[in-house]
Structure 1
């Protein structure tokens, strides 16, 4: 592995960020500095922490950043659920992000467990 860019989990996380930004365009304007901003930050945090952890010289640090990334992923999933509860988006619009985020969750869990061994 030459770079964090080669990690499939990072690539899929980047895809989620792109999909997130596109989907959030339909959120109400008055949520610009509220839920919309929070979802953007949590989605961006996922690949960012994967990359930052990869760049650390210690396995323990890498695992710590992967755990932060997983936490941000859970945060994003929760915030999208709030958006659905508030009827800003519906289940069908969120489908692709949900599928990808579950995939990323599994990949992060696997990578964390592998690095802990």
Structure 2
């Protein structure tokens, strides 16, 4: 990111971590079999992008209850990512090591989102 953050969400650790997770997940999804392009690959990429998108969208609204609602959407999308990771692991599209690392990142981010939501 060039220069200083101008948007409120760019300062949030949960948004930064969601962006990092997004890049990691898309990186592994690029290696899924071609037959999954319109199914699992598309689903996990949309879900992981939705995590950061909902954080940013919710941060620009005026009310705390509305921001909490968007953080809830973000957490739900993250749960969807975890389920897609399980599917990819069961189908042997990713290694157990990759699964474990991404699973741990998801767990940490989920806890951060929930804690941040509860503080609002």
State the TM-score, normalized to the length of structure 1: 0.93
Cα displacement (A) at 1:50: 0.3
Query: Any residues of structure 2 matched to 1:22-41 within 5 Å, and which?
Result: 22-41=27-46
For each residue in 1:42-99, what CA deviation from the matched residue of structure 2 results, as whole angstroms up to 9, or x when unmatched?
A: 0000000000000111111100000000000001001110111111112112233222
60, 79, 82: which one aligns with 1:74: 79
Question: Where does residue 62 of structure 1 map in the other structure?
Answer: 67
Are 1:107 and 2:112 matched, yes or no? yes
Determine the structure 2 residue equivalent to 1:48.
53
Distance 1:10 1:91 in 2: 26
Q: Aligned equivalents of 1:107 and 1:85: distance in 2?
A: 27
* Unmatched segments (≥5 aa) in structure 1: none
Q: CA deviation at 1:106?
A: 0.7
Q: Over aligned residue pairs, what C-alpha RMSD do you find?
A: 1.4
User: Following the alignment from structure 2 to structure 1, what is the Cα–Cα distance between the partners of residues 33 and 82?
Assistant: 19
Greater mean alpha carbon deviation, residues 70-79 or residues 97-106: 97-106
Unaligned runs of 5+ in 2: none
**Aligned residue pair count:** 115
